[in-house]
Amino acid sequence: MPSFGKPADTIVHQQEPLNAEPPRSALAGAPITPLERFYVRNHGPVPAGTESLRVTGLVAQALELSLADLQALPRRELTATLQCAGNRREGLIEVRDIPGEAPWGPGATGTARWAGAALADVLAAAGVDPAARHVGLGGADHADEAVPPQRYDISIPLAKALRPEVLLAWEMNGEPLTPVHGAPLRAVVPGYIGARSVKWLERIELRREPSEGYYQATAYRLLPEDGVPAPGVGIPLGEVALNSDILSPCDGDRLPAGSVELSGYAFAGGDRSVARVEVCADGGHWTAAELLEDQGKWAWRLWRATLDLPAGRHTLLARAWDSAGATQPEHAATVWNPKGYANSAWGRVTVEAD
């Protein structure tokens, strides 16, 4: 049985620290991802958390806030999707091996109803110095994998931090955060890769420059094909790239020939929205999928569609379009990179109809 109450069919990529995702079928048909099915991406052991949040740096007044202090601020609720930068990495590994990186499938994403205080309200209480341009976010977790080993620390642009959707959350799907998901307090940065939604949040620092921590300066950067991780090399990952995948049927399923229902998710990232999803079999005619419940621009759109499949082996494909008119690249080979981030290629599964 995997740790922290995750079901037995959870796909565990690493036990300690825990890195795990649900099977794709567990996400199908669930606009809000149940807590036990929400993916876990950890860089170190789950810490005990902290009793206070420190706000320092380029502020008029340094603050130390308890959870009760934060809960006295106006309560904000938001439905938002978090997605790991390595989501769907297995598709990139099929193109070329990526040693040392977990082969995440399409389950390193999930959507929850978050509740907490707006980060902007905390920054207003501290007073932002006009010289500040970035907001550092630090967690209580210690990562031995970092070079050198260190506590988790990243940053987001001040302009994003001041947006009303960025939360300091203590509640997830109507329940207090659990330890594996960041209790007692975590950041939720909608539209950005999950790495920016720091768990076990204990420090905020207003800065002129981005964080110098390993996960900001070296990791979570899109490298060129021949790139080697090093401070400042590559493109820092912020907004999630447009993405979609098929959740049902699963790769390798055997199905009765005839009418087959497909379902999946699409997520635009940034502050864009999903405008259209299309599916096809074997590169044939594209059929528009039905977009299901609209939970707001920070959340994915689940979809469903029906295809008629004759007997035989078929490759089912899905692609999304966003509100900026962008769509996904056809093949994972076109977005392969040495760390296996941001696989935004068409979703595809192979099935046998008989």
Q: Any idea where the domains of the chain sit in the sequence? A: 11-236, 243-353
Which residues lie closer than 8 Å to 68 by C-beta, 6 or more apart? Answer: none
* Distance (Å, whole) CA 44 – CA 151: 9
Distance, first Cα to last Cα, the chain: 35
User: What does the pLDDT look like over 99-144, one tens digit per residue?
Assistant: 999 999 999 999 999 999 999 999 999 999 999 999 999 999 999 9
pLDDT at 43 over 90: yes
Asked: is 11-236 a CATH 3.40.50.300 domain? The reply is no
Secondary structure (3-state) at 52: strand
Per-residue pLDDT, 181: 97
**pLDDT classification of 48: cutoffs 50, 70, 90:** confident
Closest CA to 267 of 302, 238, 237, 236: 302
Fold exhibited by the domain 243-353: Immunoglobulin-like (2.60.40)
